Amino acid sequence: MNARMMKTTAHDIKDFFIPLEQGDVYFIKTQEDVWLVLSPLANAMLLAKGDVVQQLDSLLRQDNNRYVNHQLATAAEALSRIIPAGDRIARISAPQDLQKLSILPTQACNLSCSYCYAAAGRSADRLGWEKLKGTLEYFIDAGRLKSRYLTISFIGGGEPLLEWEMVKKGIEYAGKRAAEQGFRVDITLITNGTVMNDEMAAFLKAHRVLPNISFDILEDVQQKQRGHYDQVMATLDCLIRNGHQPSVNATITPENVERMDQMAGLMFRRFPDIKLMIFEPVVDPGIFATAQDLRGFYVKYTREIFRVRQMAREKGCIIECRILNNVGEILDRGCPPKLTLTPRGDLTICYCVSSPLEKSFKKRVYGRADDQGKLCFDQEKFSAICSENVYSFNKCEHCFAKWYCAGGCMCPNDLYDEARLEVLCGFTRELVARELTGRVQRRHFRKNGEDILQILSAGENEISPVYSVG
């Protein structure tokens, strides 16, 4: 769905937008003669019939503000109540502004996942204590005045628990320093779930570390793509036994894209205490021979993710993916900039780029921690990386999804060719449009007990009330 500016003249028009002084109002055709009207920077949206769309178009352009009913005037006012993006986005101008730290203790791994984003960067490098200690001291520091809330993630690269003593020492030190410096720090650990034991689980619980298990859930898929199915199931049992409520991160590939309902169903039955799952589509250009193959995969993913998320809601569970999780926020970058410490001591913008063996390494590295724990930065390089945002992508200029996608994750942007990136953009727009339409439906049903989309489609009404996006 390409958003482009045009006048409304008939019921069969394409998507279009209206440029207002501080932002745009978008009109997205969701189905026959039913439109999603979206004003991201006003945090406002509604559903409307085609004839009302024409009236809203005229009203918002101030071509004619006479003879409109109260509901239409109220809608136009809400859609026009725009707060500039710059007033909502936390500007990052220097490493001192960063609020997220990713730590890669090692690039070694005991698995060889078929779709691994980091496999090309494998090395024998291990993180030294002085580098980790110095980075934690820099990150958790009273001079960092913009925020007193920080997040730290121990992540791969490789498998972080292969360096358990270093991870353990880092968690203890981070907690101690946060208490001394008056910070709230949330710590997460992302692991493949193959080396966990009760001692580790108890330690993580005592230090309020949130575990996330990378797991493909279905035994045949896990064994084919990752292996060690029984060990991961035992790890989930171990974590729950020690008082955790872990989240599960499943990579969706052609092997399981049409089996997401089975994946969710298994988790509901076997682990009812798990309330959060992430079903993220794979990022690996080698899996798809052509852009058309990628498009076919995304069609299946879009169909299934909404179906399985509804299943999850009925079970009191949440299933997320990055794009849908961002809807409602106002972003200028697809990935929030991070302070990422690699095993070598390099400081990069994202954990997906962590080794000189990877394609985008030189482009994404902006500093280094030396053997004494001293951090040095290339401020010019950092500024250049941070300037790569929604404002710098021509493709984003008139896209209704841009404030939720913000140009997308840098990983596919670096790896995909233009044809595949075009497919990815189309997938993103479809996902966002369906999510927002569903939100209007759900909120209207909770408020009024009726399906507004069905009512509009039947011609029984012409416009929904205005609802917030977030």
Residue 284, pLDDT > 90, answer: no
> Which range has the top average pLDDT, 82-96, 121-135, 242-256, 336-350?
242-256
Confidence of residue 50 (pLDDT cuts 50, 70, 90): confident
What is the CATH classification number for the domain harbouring 193? 3.20.20.70
In this prediction, residue 313 carries a pLDDT of 94
Domain contains 226: yes
| DSSP state letter for 366 | E
Domain contains 395: no
For residues 81 and 107, membership in a common domain is answered with no
Q: CA of 233: how far to CAs of 193, 239, 262, 313, in Å? A: 8, 10, 16, 23
Domain contains 396: no
For residues 237 and 120, membership in a common domain is answered with yes
| DSSP state letter for 117 | S
Domain contains 422: no
Residue 464, pLDDT > 80, answer: yes
Residue 262, pLDDT > 70, answer: yes
For residues 80 and 201, membership in a common domain is answered with no
In this prediction, residue 122 carries a pLDDT of 65
Q: Which of 196, 195, 178 is nearest to 187 (CA)?
A: 178
In this prediction, residue 127 carries a pLDDT of 94
For residues 282 and 365, membership in a common domain is answered with yes
For residues 216 and 339, membership in a common domain is answered with yes
Q: Are 278 and 247 in contact (CB under 8 A)?
A: yes
Q: Are 424 and 408 in contact (CB under 8 A)?
A: yes
In this prediction, residues 32-54 reach a mean pLDDT of 92
CA distance 55 to 58: 5
> In the chain, pLDDT over 90 holds for what percent of residues?
66
- What are all long-range contacts of 437-445, with beta carbons under 8 Å and residues at least 24 apart? 437/30, 437/36, 437/47, 438/306, 439/45, 439/467, 439/469, 440/36, 440/45, 440/46, 440/47, 440/464, 440/467, 443/467
**Residue matched to tokens 């899996």:** 287
Domain end (from 383, 409, 424): 383
Confidence of residue 63 (pLDDT cuts 50, 70, 90): low
pTM greater than 0.75 (yes/no): yes
CA distance 460 to 456: 6
Domain contains 5: no
Confidence of residue 57 (pLDDT cuts 50, 70, 90): confident
For residues 278 and 159, membership in a common domain is answered with yes
- CA 242, distance to chain mean position in Å, is 29
In this prediction, residue 294 carries a pLDDT of 95
Residue 109 is part of which domain span?
95-383
- How many structural domains does the chain have? 2
Residue 268: CB atoms within 10 A of its CB come to: 17
Mean pLDDT is lowest, of 3-7, 201-205, 371-375, 431-435, for: 3-7
Instruction: Please give the backbone phi and psi of residue 55, each rounded to the nearest 5 degrees, phi first.
Output: -65, -40
CA distance 219 to 217: 6
Confidence of residue 157 (pLDDT cuts 50, 70, 90): confident
The H-or-E segment that residue 412 falls in is: helix 410-415
Residue ranges in 211-360 assigned as alpha helix (H)? 219-225, 229-241, 260-270, 291-314, 322-326
Q: Which of 151, 153, 212 is nearest to 186 (CA)?
A: 151
In this prediction, residue 6 carries a pLDDT of 35
For residue 170, with 0-12 CB atoms within 10 Å meaning exposed, 13-18 middle and 19 or more buried, which class applies? buried
